[in-house]
Amino acid sequence: MKSYQVVLRSLLAVCFLTLTLQISYSQEKAAANEPTSAAATTPVHLVITDAALRQDAELPPLQREDVKVKQGKKFLPVTQLIPAQGDNAALQLMILIDDTLNTSVGNNLTDLKEFISAQPASTVIAVAYMSNATVSIAQNFTADHDLAVKAVRLPRGSLSTMDSPYLSLISLVKGWPEQKVRREIVMVTDGIDRLRGEKPEPSRMGPNYGAVYHSMPTISPDVSSASEISQRYNVLVYSIYAVGVGRAGRSGWDLQIGLSSLTKLADETGGECFSLGTSQLVSFKPSLDQLQKMLGNQYYVVFQATPRKKAGLQRVNVRTELSNSELVAPDNVWVPAAGK
């Protein structure tokens, strides 16, 4: 009996120690994500766009008091609102074209060239092509817009071994040197992740659980990764939907997933997805005209965020109560670690 009691006490002691360690680990993990004291704030900034609810409406300039930045139930102090004009108008604009697009998009490239030519002198432009999960730079950033126009060519209209516009985007953003200017991307693509489409998901409830494989059922996980990395480095992503080649380019399922992926990416990064459903746009001009208006109504909003023990993206909500205005902004802002 004594031996039994000794064993029982030992087991109880082990269980108590394990539980204590688990609680301690959970508390440490939660503490890492908790804000530091309210007094320890740091200035961070986002590029926001003032978009009219009616496209034909003119927008008066925003004032600092017009912009509200909310985190959860708390409003964060907005310290500056700087129009992206005059001395602050500098913009690095990347034109990113998918090489898997059908060559029929060539009818729309004249619109794209005219858009490039119409950019102000404060905008430097680069042109690159996506394939094999990376980018090929046809023209690096240049203030000579004629050079950028000359770099625009027909997409190859062919497949490579690793076609993923989102991995290409990640590769581009990670290699883009940070500067204190607006950094924005216009992606011309169908948004289909053909690489992930070749890696099907296992069945979950079928008769051969885990043994039968099916095509990708939903948005590629690389879309979320591309969104987070773009937000991390303050890059706004716009997309213009165009039809691609191959079997996926004829699949209604893949086409819809591709468009949904582009919409998610644009919404989360503070951009816009321009499309006519999954049909080829007759002309890019209306979309590019709308994009031009958005680029002309952008601001830097500087506000005080509360850093955590670890640097990371923090969810914010940027809004205004002005009539006919809608602020378009990234969903998250990168906040350095406390004390950094």
The pLDDT tens digits of the residues spanning 178-215 come to 888 999 999 999 999 988 755 556 666 667 666 666 56
Q: For residue 5, what are its two tokens?
A: 């009691």
Q: Which helix (H) or strand (E) holds 285?
A: helix 285-295
Q: Give me the CATH code for the 89-295 domain, please.
A: 3.40.50.410
More confident residue, 253 or 59: 253
Cα angle, residue 192 at apex, residues 191 and 197 outer, rounded to 5°:
155
Position 336 confidence tier, pLDDT thresholds 50, 70, 90: very high
pLDDT for 9 beyond 60: no
Q: For residue 319, what are its two tokens?
A: 């809004």
Taking residues 264-289, report their average pLDDT. Answer: 95
Q: DSSP 3-state assignment of 20?
A: helix
* Beta-bridge mates of residue 96: 128, 187
Distance CA 270, CA 235 (A): 9
Distance CA 267, CA 13 (A): 52
Taking residues 147-154, report their average pLDDT. Answer: 98
* Beta-bridge mates of residue 124: 92
Distance CA 318, CA 314 (A): 13
* 228-232, 252-256, 309-313, 332-336: the lowest-pLDDT one: 252-256
Taking residues 22-46, report their average pLDDT. Answer: 59
pLDDT at 2: 47
pLDDT at 201: 60
Cα angle, residue 224 at apex, residues 222 and 228 outer, rounded to 5°:
115
pLDDT at 149: 98
Q: Where are the beta strands (DSSP E) in 143-268?
A: 182-189, 201-202, 213-214, 235-241
pLDDT in tens, 230-247: 999 999 999 999 999 998
Position 34 confidence tier, pLDDT thresholds 50, 70, 90: very low
- Cα-based distances in Å from 27 to 33, 238, 309: 10, 40, 14
Q: For residue 57, what are its two tokens?
A: 């409406």
Distance CA 47, CA 333 (A): 10
Kindly list the domain boundaries of the chain, sorted by start residue. Answer: 42-85+298-335, 89-295
Q: With pLDDT > 90 as the criterion, what percentage of the chain qualifies? A: 68
Q: What are phi and psi of 244, to 5 degrees?
A: -100, -175
| Neighbouring C-beta atoms of residue 9, cutoff 10 Å | 10
> Taking all residues of the chain, what is their mean pLDDT, rounded to a whole number?
86
pLDDT at 329: 98
pLDDT for 16 beyond 90: no
pLDDT for 10 beyond 80: no
Cα angle, residue 199 at apex, residues 195 and 204 outer, rounded to 5°:
145
pLDDT at 250: 87
Position 324 confidence tier, pLDDT thresholds 50, 70, 90: confident
Prediction pTM value: 0.84
Position 20 confidence tier, pLDDT thresholds 50, 70, 90: very low
Distance CA 20, CA 28 (A): 12
Contact 318, 48 (CB under 8 A): yes
pLDDT at 18: 45
pLDDT for 15 beyond 80: no
Cα angle, residue 298 at apex, residues 117 and 52 outer, rounded to 5°:
100
